[in-house]
Chain A
Amino acid sequence: MSTMAVTQAEADPRRFLRALASQEALLAIAVIFLAVAVGLYNPRFLATRNLSDVLLGNAYIAVAAVGMSMVIVSGNIDISVGSLIGVLATLSGTLAVNGVPIIVAWLAPLVAGILVMALQGIIIAYLRIPAIVVTLGMLSILKGGLISVTGGKWITDLPDGFHLADTELFGTVPMPVFLMIVATILAAIWMRYSAPGRAIYAVGGNAEAARLCGISQPRTVVMVFALHGLFAGIAALLYATQLRVIQSTVPPNLELTIITAAVVGGVSILGGVGTVIGSTLAAILIAEIASALVFIDVSPYWIRAVQGVLILVTVIADILRRRRMAGA
């Protein structure tokens, strides 16, 4: 991916803010509109139970997409995250069944996630190996390693207190949804208003210019990957605590789903543009579409094709919108 010069649009802050608000608003409108449209066809779609199930079941993807967005904004990519989540979930479950205090079993995937991702960040930033190579290699290492160590043996007999999804805050908001919202908001604020957060945009937009401003690109990249590891850890925790068993395998295609959520959310692969709010909304939209397609009786053989069309339509519309704003 060649580093493009910062375009006119991104450099102009007013236009930048307008572009920012637009994709998120569009996604929010799409989420609501889809819910209403499907609700007309089958009112059960709008039942609180269903909407909350959609959010609950996919919160982990949204959380992982927050970290992935940061990585992509910084001009890199990570395709090892799916394997990492599988490994971290297994780690968490294994600790829990072996009598380790629940709180430790919950925090372990976070710590391990940060360490593994930071390691990748160091290799990428300081040893200057392209992100796609490192994460591609790491994907295989993690997947093979997981099978070698666990043999895919399911973890059952998890202690009762382990299941985070069962906890509800203030009596109504399930923990996973709460974590998803909190993670998104904190990350969004941090990226917009803090110096290290803005550094990510700078490094992704034009690494050379950032360097001349005194932003250390290697340090920023390592930081971004470490944070990405934190979010991957949280996602793994949500993934592990959702059901009564843990599969000890790598969830299929998870990295692709997460990258799609980030990309549909408006994160530009050229780096330097995009927000985590967009990626969370996109993750919600994608989950909603998956559920909607079942509700409106789309033939199951065609579901993936429809999803592909919708993704294509969304990304084309997003690019067209950006070009119109930039006056290109």
Chain B
Amino acid sequence: MSEIPLPQAARRVAPWWLTRHETMLAAILLVALIVLGALNNRFLTLDNLLNQGRLTTEVGLIALPMTFIIITGGIDLSVGSIVGLCAILLGYSWKNFGFPLPLAIAFSLLVGAAAGFLNGLVITRVKVPPLIMTIATLALYRGLAEGISQARSVRGYPEWFYFIGQENLLGVPAQLWLLLIAIVIAGIVLDRTTFGRTLYAIGNNETAARFSGLPVDRAKLIIYTLSGLMAALSAVVLVSRVTTTRSDMGIGYELDVIATVVLGGTSIFGGVGTIWGTVVGLAMIQLLKDGLALTGVKGDATIVVIGTVLILSTLVASSLQRRRDGV
């Protein structure tokens, strides 16, 4: 009797945690940091790194719910426009409606959540695919920002408001605390709660998830609302940092956020991704831009490098992942 051939076990290239996308990326990041640090002695100072943390908060806050969304196989291109809309409404409601500033901030957060909720509602009820719905709301929300503001800026906020965007708390930039707290919460939710596992299930096979009785629509509604809410929070931080409102705020954020999330190992096809990966992606892009600038590389060359890094890192990480999976 001839031997029945057994399936080949996946060849182990290295321990599983070493070849995870996130670890590979962190390794690449470490190498980049060392190289850039060697080239320029002002790069690896605490002052600079904290400052970079301050500057990356706006994109970072939005990247967290975007991770959730992309894990479910969706996408949200309207985040940049929501930032613009909420920034405008923050100023507009404070100046034109006469809201006291804390109320204006709350109003702005509410509008952001509502904008995200609208996205989620149409995506789950009418079943418009996320890409299409958020392309439409990208135009709509930006248009609302332009129309409501009539291209006017609102400035002259009370001093305490600038604390969020410009001051330090215990030595660390104020908005960075916000980001760190958000990262911890998002990480716990995704990794440790049923909600998080529901997101992965939706991303892996939405139909199966539905038939398993998971609250698919409710989960989607929540994450898109969350995305709008974080975009609004990001807008508040931005207005505080630059002391004014403009209807073109946030233009292009969606691409920065998606690049961050995707670089961090979240698969655009859904079902795979971690908050930790997103954080590494965030750090990578920001520190790379900063390090290159300090080394003397100019703006146009920097974006070429970032684009190349994006493609190459994904290439390296995903081919190692495939080797690990024995594919």
Contact = CB atoms under 8 A, between A and B. Distances in A.
B270 interface: yes
Contact of A301 (B151, B207, B271, B303): B151
B139 A307 contact: yes
A294 to B, nearest CB: 15
B10 to A, nearest CB: 17
Interface of B: 73, 75, 122, 126-129, 131-133, 135-144, 146-147, 150-151, 203-207, 255, 258-259, 262, 267-271, 299-304, 306-311, 314-315, 318-319, 322
A130 interface: yes
Contacts of A312: 133, 136-137, 140
B207 to A, nearest CB: 7
A284 interface: no
A299 B299 CA distance: 36
Contacts of A269: 129, 131-132
A75 to B, nearest CB: 10
B176 to A, nearest CB: 26
Nearest to A146: B300
Interface of A: 1-5, 77, 79, 123, 127-130, 132-134, 136-141, 143-145, 147-148, 256, 259-260, 263, 268-270, 299, 301-309, 311-312, 315-316, 319-320, 323
Closest 5 CB pairs of A and B: A308-B140, A305-B143, A140-B307, A304-B143, A308-B139
25 contacts: A1-B131, A2-B204, A2-B206, A4-B206, A123-B311, A127-B319, A130-B268, A133-B268, A136-B310, A137-B310, A138-B311, A139-B255, A139-B307, A141-B304, A144-B307, A269-B131, A301-B150, A302-B146, A303-B143, A305-B146, A307-B143, A308-B141, A315-B132, A315-B136, A316-B128
Contacts of A148: 300-301, 304
Contacts of A138: 307, 311
Contact of A140 (B126, B137, B146, B303): B303
B147 to A, nearest CB: 4
A144 B300 CA distance: 4
B300 A268 contact: no
Contacts of B262: 130, 132-133, 136
A19 B206 CA distance: 25
A81 to B, nearest CB: 14
B268 A1 contact: yes
Given A133-B311, A136-B307, A139-B307, 9 more contacts: A1-B75, A2-B269, A123-B315, A144-B301, A148-B300, A260-B139, A269-B131, A301-B147, A305-B143
Contacts, number: 151
Contact of A2 (B73, B136, B300): B73
B96 to A, nearest CB: 15
A291 to B, nearest CB: 17
B187 to A, nearest CB: 23
Given A128-B318, A260-B135, A316 B140 contact: no
B73 A316 contact: no
A133 B310 contact: yes
Contacts of A303: 143
Contacts of B147: 299, 301-302, 304-305
A263 B129 CA distance: 10
B127 A141 contact: no
Contacts of A308: 136-144
A256 B307 contact: no
A299 to B, nearest CB: 8
B12 to A, nearest CB: 21
Given A132-B268, A304-B143, A315 B128 contact: yes
Contacts of B122: 316
B126 A316 contact: yes
B314 A133 contact: yes
A302 B247 CA distance: 12
Contacts of B204: 2
B308 A137 contact: yes
A266 B270 CA distance: 24
Nearest to B311: A137
